[in-house]
A and B are shown apart, each in its own frame.
Chain A
Amino acid sequence: MTDASADVVATTSRWSPRVRRIMGFLGVLVVVVVIWELYKVVGKALGGVVPGTELRLRPPPDDRIMPHTWDVVLQLFRPVRRNGELTVLLLGKAALFTLREAFVGFVVGGLVGFGLGVAFVRSTLAERAFMPYVVASQTVPIIAIAPMVVVWGGKLDIPQWLSVAIIAAYLTFFPVTINTVRGLRSPAPTAMEMMRSYAASPSQVLWKLQVPAALPYIFTALKVSATASVIGAIVGELPAGFRDGLARALLEFSQQFNAEKLLAAILMSAIAGILFVGIVTWFEHRLVAAAHRQE
């Protein structure tokens, strides 16, 4: 199986899938833009109501609420206010600030998640004892937890961005734990028996067999967690009244009732998420390939 996947990597040409992926991405973008603009044109032609009824179209197809897609992009390169800095600069700085929190949370959450996963696989008792709490922790809405963490952080004189990182970690660890458990248990019983027959120590079994086998599972979780940590960071910023992050920009623009700027901020949040997942994927390719070579 390992050999087969290595073959796939070797035989497929290097640029073709990449080009295809970019084409696919751009294709979807074009479709979304066309649907958006078409909805506006048709909606306006219909007078903003569903034909034959009094029902108003939602969202209303006017420029105030649904600005032209190009106006949103142009807004990025217009000053955020008269004589102010460019919107893209303001949002870029905000995105970097938020990504820093998300990244710290992601790393902490990833390590905690992995550690819990290993502990659960090692000890069924630990799994039985802790798993219900781990699951319970994720059913509590993050917006309920976030203000509490920020308040506690304030009491303990932890910098606010670190409190937010903790919230991001909180969203990160769960998928990693679940998938780590699953992945560490994925090697075939025969492989485990073989390792034991070589008198491999538990940690050798873990690092030489179980972890490499678990990597694809863990990276799947990490990609989920990467987006979750960005969301966690933004939600964590909301109650804190953060000056520098994306949440502030989102709130400020929604309050100003400015759809172009708001959509530009949403666009930037999405780009931040894509960037983060992209980085995780890059590491995935390198690490999983390295693990295969090791085998």
Chain B
Amino acid sequence: MRGIRGNGTWRMVALVGVFALIVAACGGGETGEAPEAAGGGGEAACESVDSVKVQLQWFAQAQFAGYYVAKDKGFYADECLEVEILEGGVDIVPQQVLATGGAEFGIAWVPKALVSREAGANIVNIAQVFERSGTLMVSWADTGITHPRDWAGKKVGNWGFGNEYELLAAIEKFDVADVELVAQDFTMNALLNREIDAAQAMIYNEYAQVLEAVNPDTGELYQPEDLNVIDFNDPEIATAMLQDAIWVEEGWIADEANQDIAVRFLRATFRGWIFCLDNFDECVTVVLDNGSALGESHQQWQLNEILALIFPATNGIGVMNKALWDQTVEVATSQIPDLQGVTIPDSAFRTDLAEKAVADLEADGLDTKGTSYTRRTITLRQGGE
């Protein structure tokens, strides 16, 4: 259901069972004030401070650790930025918030943002933070499903609402016959009760939730060995689509002063993510401090996996990997009804701002590629406590 992060409407459906009509009222793009003071950074006193907002897809959780760390550790302040982090919600679509001027920066999955672009939102990707897709297809080990071909004749769950395209592309790619696609609710209950053979899961959320549940046969928590996982990033499958990226409104970023703000924002944000590589526990604490109902071990798991979606970063954190962009566009234009036959221009993303931020951080001696990152071993507790 973390795919739902990307699509608020989904969650409302899950909860209330009704579509919410989202009215993006009030046009008019009020942009952030354009200041004259440029550059800066470091600990130098700020001549002026720029106030910007960043719209997340969901509530505070480790998925957004980099932003919270950059704020709480003062990295934004060091860049003379006053950043307000807007949490997502059921009906909040960051692309719409951007388009209506409610925030300068928005986090969104690439395929969903491309659909919004096609629907008229003039937004551009300035930093591809996650290089890998977090979506998995999870099944019980004893069912022997280890490859998309094994879905033949099986019940395969999916969330729908724009979260199913990687799955559909894999089914098409391997010409899997007789797959029974089943609508999956926002829990893993259908898999746990063996009502479906494979379930969609974000590696940093639902997958962990299974591992936080008690196996009634053993009285212990389920173990990774109990599960088979199909990863769309697997080069053999390669239908993964890019997820969390930072988007801005085209008109806003056309202004040079705003480009400078964006570089500073990216520099501080990347600094936050890189900080988490070496200060894992501190980052988890920052996340927990920003969400009082979050489970500790679940957030440890999440941060660990999120970092693995970012690092190693081929071109340095946030700089688009063109091959993966092309793969995303290919899957999107073949699978997403709204995008069929649409040519996605390369101007939908730009790398110059992220490259500048990465170069500056490299000059500061930071490891922007995170090549040394290896997953930690996280001990999950029941219910993610």
Interface, chain A (partner B; CB < 8 A): 48, 56, 60, 62, 64-65, 80-85, 90, 141, 143-144, 146-148, 151-152, 154-155, 238-243, 248-258, 260-261
Contacts and interface: CB of A to CB of B under 8 A. Distances in A.
B296 A80 contact: no
B214 interface: yes
B18 A251 contact: no
B10 to A, nearest CB: 12
A64 B193 CA distance: 11
B16 A143 contact: yes
Nearest to A265: B293
B23 to A, nearest CB: 5
A50 to B, nearest CB: 15
A60 B12 CA distance: 23
Chain A to chain B: the 10 pairs with minimum beta-carbon distance, closest first: A241-B89, A239-B91, A144-B21, A241-B87, A147-B91, A252-B293, A238-B90, A148-B23, A143-B20, A257-B209
Contacts of B216: 62
A241 B24 contact: no
Nearest to A84: B292
Given A143-B12, A152-B26, A252-B293, A239 B195 contact: no
B293 A151 contact: no
Contacts of A248: 59, 293
B25 A152 contact: yes
Given A154-B102, A255-B1, A143 B26 contact: no
Contacts of B288: 81
A146 B14 CA distance: 17
A242 B216 CA distance: 36
B91 A238 contact: yes
The CB with the most chain B CB atoms within 10 A, among A82, A83, A141, A143, is that of A143
B89 A240 contact: yes
A256 B294 CA distance: 8
Contacts of B214: 64
Contact of B59 (A64, A239, A241): A241
B189 A155 contact: no
A261 B298 CA distance: 15
Contact of B20 (A83, A147, A252): A147
A146 B18 CA distance: 14
A97 to B, nearest CB: 13
A152 B26 CA distance: 7
Contacts of A64: 189, 192, 213-214
Contacts of A81: 288, 293-296, 385
Given A65-B189, A249-B293, A254-B186, A151 B87 contact: no
Nearest to A62: B216
Nearest to B8: A239
Contacts of A143: 12, 16, 18, 20-21, 91
A48, A82, A240, A241 — which one has the most chain B CB atoms within 10 A of its CB?
A: A241
B86 interface: yes
B86 A241 contact: yes
A238 B89 contact: yes
Given A60-B193, A64-B214, A154-B102, A253 B87 contact: no
Nearest to A59: B189
Contacts of B22: 147
Interface in B82-129: 86-92, 100, 102
19 contacts: A48-B193, A62-B216, A64-B189, A81-B293, A83-B296, A85-B292, A90-B292, A141-B18, A147-B20, A151-B26, A152-B25, A152-B26, A238-B15, A238-B90, A239-B8, A252-B59, A254-B15, A256-B298, A257-B212
Interface in B145-188: 186-188
B71 interface: no
Contact of A253 (B24, B205, B291, B293): B293
A90 B294 CA distance: 12
Contacts of B292: 80, 84-85, 90
A256 B25 contact: no
A159 to B, nearest CB: 14
B384 interface: yes
Contacts of A241: 59, 86-90, 92
A102 B209 CA distance: 34
A155 B22 CA distance: 16
B177 to A, nearest CB: 25
B90 to A, nearest CB: 4
Given A64-B189, A81-B296, 11 more contacts: A64-B214, A81-B295, A82-B296, A141-B18, A143-B12, A151-B23, A250-B15, A251-B59, A255-B1, A257-B187, A257-B212
A243 B119 CA distance: 31
Contacts of B297: 82
B248 to A, nearest CB: 19
A71 to B, nearest CB: 12
A95 to B, nearest CB: 14
Contacts of B192: 64
A249 B292 CA distance: 9
B11 interface: yes
B383 interface: yes
Nearest to B86: A241
Given A81-B385, A251-B11, A243 B87 contact: yes
A37 B290 CA distance: 37
Nearest to A143: B20
A241 B8 CA distance: 11
Contacts of A80: 292-293
